[in-house]
Structure 1
């Protein structure tokens, strides 16, 4: 029998053997119920906790990385990145804000600034130039091809496309939302009264800078002082201001002028009518309040509308009353007369030989429009004799003559804040004898209308210089100005100017105004022909007047350049003065304070006494009160022939044909009738009802009309 060695024997035996277990690294059990294979060693770990800890570790690492990155950006790259951001989005710019407004003396707005939008482009940010041009061109009214060429070919980083568009256009541009296209806030200047005082106000350019008139001369005040501010732009390129340091948008100061809108309208209407009627080149007028020296109105025609300054030529917006120096003509004569009186070279009664209207001296011929012989000095001015004034000028002498003209302001700019000319006043050593004679009647010297107004203001201020003013300042201090003429001299010349208008033989009779005494001086200046080198056929018609004559309230200067249908200042310019003055009397209320002349106050008219004023035309509806004790009862026929202030009402309609307006109105007023005046003039040429007819019993059904004319 053999023994079986289990170690060396046959593995396969008939007897069953127990299965041995492998090492832990190789052992595995099959869980039939779960269908999974598990390693024995994995049963020792809590994998739920392990996953949580891993998540925590990952987040801690990420958190540490973010803090590290933040530290790096802040501490290492921070200064460099901050500088780049500042340069890209924030900059220090010179900022200008809203201009100050301009008001008239009553607070009416003459000029103001309103917000506007301007369209700009940043070409580097535009993605599709063709699409941009086709979309934006029709909105802005720009040819798409031109817009495409301008923006696609430029190397500039910023380009203005269209400045100061209207709100509708700005909104349409905003809605397009095109990259590289943006809107910027600017200010547009608006003049509510359009052409009113256009040449005086001037205008501002596209960059909101004054280019003409008050807008330019007062730029330092109206234009806001530029300030350097921090400006930040958003992603769309729109800018806004940072106010952390108390910054605010700058703004110009407001300005109040002495101009009165209502009076300005009156003057502009009268000047425009005269220029059109006489087919003149241009016309202008200045109205000055004498007691204060304030310019109440300053008109020029053709008109200029600052709102559309691009459509006007420099010839239209040029302020000719201040910038054009012209020979003044006979309106210059009162200053020569005043200088001679002041130097006691003459007096009002000094005889001056006017040579019958023609005087040849030093190969120089002087002519007058009327043939006068020997005249007293006061009539030399009334008849506007060139010969008489030339002889008076020779009496004064060059040095003295020049001194007075300099003190009156000729040859220098005025204090009015406009761009005015100095004119031409040569130094004494350049004057010849012919020069002093021609200067005495307004030739060989060039002055502006503004200088003439300044000189007349000095004369009317009892001979003491008074500066014209165009702006109203609360802190104005009355300065002490030198005296040019004595009060007696000034009053004497003013009386002479009164005779020019009020006397029947004066050259300024067309400037008369019923109810108030007027003084003035006409002028008809020859204009030089620069091509021919001599005086040509063109004239400057002018008139300077003031009222009331004894105590001036308003000074009015009228100039009409190159009228063609008539050239004389007494015919062309004097009626303009009359229209302005008449409407100013009503506007200012002066006529309502004028008393009606009574019998005992009004002496009988004589040929040498002139016309006595005092009728209140504005109050003719007040019954005329006469003192019956003082009146002498005339016959019926006499009542229709005597002057109005001596006549009593008769039973029949008086004959007022050929009578003055004053006498005619007084005759009707004594019967309790207020006639209607038609036409312009100082004499009655037609009346209704007919003279000599019985007064109608039912006055309310009858029209009482007096037709007037210059005759």
Structure 2
């Protein structure tokens, strides 16, 4: 072989080797590129922080729920074939929605088609998932019991998609707690404190398995950071009281909506707040936060502010015992006639009586005659009282509004009507803040609902929110006079029907015509309210009740005021600091409440301190529970300990999920739900 031929052969071999290497490298590059396109980074949503009541009861929390899918490409055919019967029986008994035969057929069909993302079940709770991953096939023959965190979907074929669901164990103060939603604006505490609650998202690696399905690889690039917890001033017992008391009256009156706010006098902390609106079905739902976000003409509850201004004015020499002529119940201001509720009027009465009887003519004449020619002085004094941002913890509070002399809407009838609560607009919370200040010897406290922010139980100084004074709006002397006037309303005036045998109440009724400009065209609509505090001599709590457009009655003394009385007596009966002044006869006369949360606490207290047979009471509960179950309805499990509750429900094949510790205070679904419609029950404990 010539030298030339040898050179040619060597070059050909070298060329072939180089080509092979290039092809190999290109193939590897293409494979790597393809692998890279099958991997992506996706966010790991942070677990949202909890919202707690004052004594650390959970008002809102995030609970994991799981959607489960099967990757039959991973599941071994032989293992499935050997275990299909037992697996189908176990799944059927766990979820109780299909027969074992139906599950068996659907699993075999999915395996036959080698489905990679077969939907097994959605909205599975953690307890169910812990059981499921230890079923045959999914467990892969492991002898040790597996947990959720260590489960590998690449081996067991079970794809677990976790999502966090916001739960409200007590189902109380829903609008104030708010709504956590991604697709639209968050509201309430969930919205205003979202920056603390939301935490910090992480990132994880996911791989593509086909059919537009991505599953986690198990590698987290960055872990998420749990959100901080919000501790509020809400007391779940008081919240339960105000909601049930308000709802009962709203149903009686078929009113459009109502709200109640309960505040601690010395601190301004909101202890309870509710807003209930009538739906087309006739039921009431905690919807828009009218207590904080809706301002309208308050009516006669504003008369307290009018007299506060006049009694505080050093240029005026006014006594609550001065007399004023209300004539025969009608008085003309220019082209408009002001009327008193009582036909024929009250004649000559004192300023104190004008307030007690809620005389429009009496109050308006006091203001107009003393501020004639110096209307701006009255407005300036009003401005100094109302020019505040009252509620900072929850967004959406409007400023109080009223007409001023320089405004083109001002007329000769503005001041007289303003003095009686028209031509001025305030929210219920703003009105309550003024009444609370009077009860607090003239010092106005900023309404607060958030007490502190916690991170893993730790509270820094800047995240501890102490009571805040908004300044003194009247002297102690004037405060004492106004308290005397409000006591008189309950003892001798428009609210004497709510006089209590157990404690002294103080406050003011307010009845407002909410469409008075259309009185000749439409049926009149009214808003009733009562604002006050209790006990009157040493006020601890202030409260406002507002009921809009009641259909049966329309005077505040018969609509809003009785709700105030019921709330005051129940809280007085529950507050152990106030309880010390009661005697046994008073206790026995007070009615036992039907409130779920309250009844347990009161039963314990009363049975410990007075002769109330707790055993007889509980035996009646057990008997009713058994009857409900036999009839096919879910019973009320309130007051049961968890051992008894679980035993009873499990005997009827009901899966029990728990939240909290102690005895049952609430449940989902509600009592009375048909057993055949129930897959599981969640019991909330405290």
Bin the TM-score by the shorter chain: 0.5 to 0.7
Kindly tell me: are residues 381 and 243 of structure 1, through their superposed partners in 2, closer, same or farther at Cα, counting changes over 3 Å?
A: same
Kindly tell me: are residues 262 and 507 of structure 1, through their superposed partners in 2, closer, same or farther at Cα, counting changes over 3 Å?
A: same
- Confirm or deny that 1:186 pairs with 2:186: no
Aligned match of 2:312: 342
C-alpha separation between the residues in 2 aligned to 1:536 and 1:446? 22
**1:156-203 deviation line (CA, Å, top 9, x unaligned):** xxx9x999744589989x9999xx997632211111223x21222232
Q: TM-score, normalised by structure 2?
A: 0.63
C-alpha separation between the residues in 1 aligned to 2:470 and 2:427? 22
> Over the residues paired in the alignment, what is the CA RMSD in angstroms?
4.3
Kindly tell me: are residues 352 and 458 of structure 1, through their superposed partners in 2, closer, same or farther at Cα, counting changes over 3 Å?
A: same
Specify which of 373, 378, 402 is matched with residue 379 of structure 2: 402
The aligned runs of 1:181-220 (5 Å cut-off) are 184-194=161-171, 196-205=172-181, 207=182, 211-220=186-195
Aligned match of 1:557: 544
- Confirm or deny that 1:381 pairs with 2:355: yes
The aligned runs of 1:320-335 (5 Å cut-off) are 320-335=290-305
Partner SS, residue 565 of structure 2: helix
Aligned match of 2:58: 109
Kindly tell me: are residues 372 and 260 of structure 1, through their superposed partners in 2, closer, same or farther at Cα, counting changes over 3 Å?
A: same
Aligned match of 2:497: 510
The aligned runs of 1:109-258 (5 Å cut-off) are 109-117=58-66, 165-166=123-124, 184-194=161-171, 196-205=172-181, 207=182, 211-226=186-201, 229-233=203-207, 235=209, 237-239=214-216, 242-243=219-220, 247-258=222-233
| Higher mean C-alpha displacement, 436-445 vs 390-399 | 390-399
Q: CA deviation at 1:508?
A: 1.1
Does structure 1 retain, via aligned residues, the 8 Å contact 2:68–2:161?
A: yes
Aligned match of 2:515: 528
- Confirm or deny that 1:437 pairs with 2:387: no
What is the number of equivalent residue pairs in this alignment?
Answer: 488
Aligned match of 1:461: 440
Aligned match of 1:501: 490
C-alpha separation between the residues in 2 aligned to 1:381 and 1:265? 33
Partner SS, residue 499 of structure 1: helix
- Confirm or deny that 1:318 pairs with 2:281: no
C-alpha separation between the residues in 2 aligned to 1:289 and 1:356? 41
Kindly tell me: are residues 96 and 90 of structure 1, through their superposed partners in 2, closer, same or farther at Cα, counting changes over 3 Å?
A: same
Partner SS, residue 184 of structure 1: strand
Aligned match of 1:128: none
C-alpha separation between the residues in 2 aligned to 1:369 and 1:531? 19
- Confirm or deny that 1:296 pairs with 2:235: no
Does structure 2 retain, via aligned residues, the 8 Å contact 1:164–1:188?
A: no
Q: CA deviation at 1:620?
A: 8.9
C-alpha separation between the residues in 1 aligned to 2:121 and 2:310? 60
Q: TM-score, normalised by structure 1?
A: 0.61
Does structure 2 retain, via aligned residues, the 8 Å contact 1:284–1:560?
A: yes
C-alpha separation between the residues in 1 aligned to 2:220 and 2:301? 60
Does structure 2 retain, via aligned residues, the 8 Å contact 1:529–1:536?
A: no
Aligned match of 2:252: 277
Does structure 2 retain, via aligned residues, the 8 Å contact 1:182–1:237?
A: no
Partner SS, residue 331 of structure 2: strand
C-alpha separation between the residues in 1 aligned to 2:540 and 2:51? 26
C-alpha separation between the residues in 1 aligned to 2:525 and 2:180? 35
Q: CA deviation at 1:314?
A: 12
Partner SS, residue 275 of structure 2: strand
Kindly tell me: are residues 398 and 162 of structure 1, through their superposed partners in 2, closer, same or farther at Cα, counting changes over 3 Å?
A: farther
Does structure 1 retain, via aligned residues, the 8 Å contact 2:340–2:361?
A: yes
Unaligned runs of 5+ in 2: 1-12, 72-96, 99-116, 139-152, 453-462, 591-610, 612-686
C-alpha separation between the residues in 2 aligned to 1:79 and 1:285? 69
Kindly tell me: are residues 234 and 429 of structure 1, through their superposed partners in 2, closer, same or farther at Cα, counting changes over 3 Å?
A: same
Partner SS, residue 472 of structure 1: strand
C-alpha separation between the residues in 1 aligned to 2:122 and 2:516? 45
Aligned match of 2:346: 372
Partner SS, residue 425 of structure 2: coil
Structure showing greater radius of gyration is: 1
Partner SS, residue 544 of structure 2: strand
Partner SS, residue 211 of structure 1: coil
Kindly tell me: are residues 303 and 101 of structure 1, through their superposed partners in 2, closer, same or farther at Cα, counting changes over 3 Å?
A: farther
Q: CA deviation at 1:378?
A: 1.8
Q: CA deviation at 1:509?
A: 1.0
| Higher mean C-alpha displacement, 344-353 vs 447-456 | 344-353
Aligned match of 1:482: 471
| Higher mean C-alpha displacement, 344-353 vs 492-501 | 344-353
The aligned runs of 1:671-690 (5 Å cut-off) are none
Specify which of 47, 50, 66 is matched with residue 98 of structure 1: 47
- Asked which structure has the greater RCO (Cα within 8 Å, sep 6+), the reply is 2
C-alpha separation between the residues in 2 aligned to 1:530 and 1:121? 66
Does structure 1 retain, via aligned residues, the 8 Å contact 2:390–2:447?
A: no
Does structure 2 retain, via aligned residues, the 8 Å contact 1:189–1:208?
A: no
C-alpha separation between the residues in 2 aligned to 1:312 and 1:218? 33
C-alpha separation between the residues in 2 aligned to 1:239 and 1:435? 68
Partner SS, residue 327 of structure 1: coil
Aligned match of 1:287: 262
C-alpha separation between the residues in 2 aligned to 1:429 and 1:78? 83
- Confirm or deny that 1:391 pairs with 2:360: no
Q: CA deviation at 1:117?
A: 3.6
The aligned runs of 1:629-640 (5 Å cut-off) are none
Q: CA deviation at 1:554?
A: 0.9
Does structure 2 retain, via aligned residues, the 8 Å contact 1:413–1:421?
A: no
Kindly tell me: are residues 238 and 493 of structure 1, through their superposed partners in 2, closer, same or farther at Cα, counting changes over 3 Å?
A: same
C-alpha separation between the residues in 2 aligned to 1:249 and 1:565? 55
